Structure 1
Amino acid sequence: MVPVRLFRFSIGTLLVAITLLAVVAAYAVRQRGDRTLTETGRDLDIAIIGDGLFEFSEGDSGKVYSRDGRLSVNADGQLVHKQSGRVLQPPISIPMDAQQVLVTPDGEFCFQDTDMGNWYQSDQLQLVMFNLNEDQLVPCGDGFFRPGPNSTTPMSVTPGDHGSGSIHAGWHEHRRSPSLLLFLCVPVAVACGLTASLVFTPGRMK
């Protein structure tokens, strides 16, 4: 009697494999490794290379935090988040008619005037560091977060100090879409399901 190797497709095993791989993919897209940088060439697009968050004021609602450093200048000459209009904290003032803005890796803002072309130093950018994992922050939409119930008081630091990241001007950080990872999970899950369903059944003696 010779064993005959047969494939038996198990829906239950396949579903388990898909679930496990989806969990792995969901976890992966939450980690720092899933972030990627895109060059924009805008003076006021800044990205954090390393740890830290930007702090923005939400008026009477307090403060929120984000790694989205796409900024613009509002009517009061203050740097704000380009999409939401939230004011960057601590406030940084840039003339609306500035010809060019330069941001150094340690967060120092300088601007060039349009009249004489002279350069002037503006304000110093501060990053925020929490004594907790970023996953414990509570999302509040559009890439912004509020501290969770167990969070401590955030620490404001100059970029590059106390383990914080540096500033990379002209670049925008965004998260990779989880859809690609989940799409890749399907064929892998099928393979896992088929492999787990490989069984041996006895053949007939001739």
Structure 2
Amino acid sequence: MIKALYNGMTGMAAQMQKMDVTGNNIANLDTIGYKCQTASFNELLRQQVTAQGMPVVPDAAAQSNQGGGAKISSINRSFSQGNMISTGRDLDLAIEGDGFFKLTRADGEVFYTRDGSFKLDSDGKIKSSEGYVLLDNELPAGFTDLVIDETGLVTCKDREGNKQEIGQIELAVFPRPELLEASGNNMFKQSDASGEPETITPGDNNPNRILQSYLEGSNVDLVLEVQSLIEGQRSFQLNAKSINTADQMWSIANNLQK
């Protein structure tokens, strides 16, 4: 009965974590560039239990396996492509394919994101909403016809109407992007497990490209998330019922009279 209580407790704790992950996915259904997460389970330590001369067991050395419950082994992030959303805004960019925009904070720390909603600062630099720099080159005062093509090349026209090439937006591609370290605000940092990033030019002998005036929506599938939430709730209820049953059996055993 103690084992049943422990198994039920670990199962409830694991399902609570799973529902937290699912709830976070649903809450970010409309978050630009958000990548959904999934929880993976592991069985806890299995033990060999030897029957000590039970009458129903002919062999006193008979053994059986008993599990020790379950736990969340890892929370994985899927970087599958989200839907493209047309915005009509020149500084909204979406990545079609693999890769991340590389952002640099004022102190030099580097972050990576799929959220392409950028803006201009007072100096004419393209930055993220948090103020991290995407392109260090400055756009000229009074520019017009800002174009960022599929290869990430940034051009515009100056006040005299002359076309100017401002700079090149490159993408960072990781060997294992699912192992990047999340740092909040839809941004990630390189980790030892993610590997070193490779800097590529979009469309340069690779299928990745940048789309101007588009944003990438989240890759959350609401139907699958609701299904996962229902499964988590049912599993939680089942584990709670097992604890209740074990408690009732324990109460009966304690109240038995000779």
Q: TM-score, normalised by structure 1?
A: 0.69
Tell me by how many angstroms 1:109 deviates.
0.5
Which amino acid in 2 is paired with 1:156? Answer: T
Q: How many residues align?
A: 173
Could you tell me the percent identity over the aligned residues?
Answer: 27
Answering whether residue 157 of structure 2 is matched by residue 112 of structure 1, we say: yes
Answering whether residue 131 of structure 2 is matched by residue 85 of structure 1, we say: yes
Asked if the contact 2:79–2:177 (Cα under 8 Å) also holds between the matched residues in 1, the reply is no
Tell me by how many angstroms 1:187 deviates.
6.2
Answering whether residue 188 of structure 2 is matched by residue 145 of structure 1, we say: yes
Asked if the contact 1:129–1:164 (Cα under 8 Å) also holds between the matched residues in 2, the reply is no
Deviation string 1:13-38 (CA, Å, 9 cap, x unpaired) is: xx99xx5x968984399323362221
Q: Provide structure 1 residue ranges, at least 5 long, that are not aligned to the other structure.
A: 1-11, 192-206
| Aligned-partner SS, 2:217 | strand
Asked if the contact 1:92–1:125 (Cα under 8 Å) also holds between the matched residues in 2, the reply is no
Match of 2:148 in 1: 103
Match of 2:102 in 1: 55
Asked if the contact 2:81–2:96 (Cα under 8 Å) also holds between the matched residues in 1, the reply is no
Q: Distance in 2 between matches of 1:134 and 1:153?
A: 10
Asked if the contact 1:71–1:80 (Cα under 8 Å) also holds between the matched residues in 2, the reply is yes
1:114-193 matches, cutoff 5 A: 115-130=159-174, 132-161=175-204, 163=206, 165-177=208-220, 181-185=224-228
Higher relative contact order (CA 8 A, sep 6+): 1
Larger Rg computed on CA atoms: 2
Deviation string 1:67-106 (CA, Å, 9 cap, x unpaired) is: 111111112221111x1010115x2321353222101111
Tell me by how many angstroms 1:123 deviates.
0.6
Answering whether residue 117 of structure 2 is matched by residue 70 of structure 1, we say: yes
Q: Distance in 1 between matches of 2:141 and 2:220?
A: 35
Q: Distance in 2 between matches of 1:186 and 1:154?
A: 35
Q: Distance in 2 between matches of 1:149 and 1:123?
A: 30
Alpha-carbon distance change, 99 to 30 in structure 1, aligned in 2, over 3 angstroms: same
Deviation string 1:158-191 (CA, Å, 9 cap, x unpaired) is: 1123646111100011314466532244567899
Tell me by how many angstroms 1:143 deviates.
0.8
Alpha-carbon distance change, 92 to 178 in structure 1, aligned in 2, over 3 angstroms: farther
Q: Provide structure 2 residue ranges, at least 5 long, that are not aligned to the other structure.
A: 1-7, 23-35, 40-75, 235-258
| Aligned-partner SS, 1:182 | helix
Match of 2:88 in 1: 41
Alpha-carbon distance change, 85 to 185 in structure 1, aligned in 2, over 3 angstroms: same
Q: TM-score, normalised by structure 2?
A: 0.56
Q: Distance in 1 between matches of 2:156 and 2:131?
A: 21
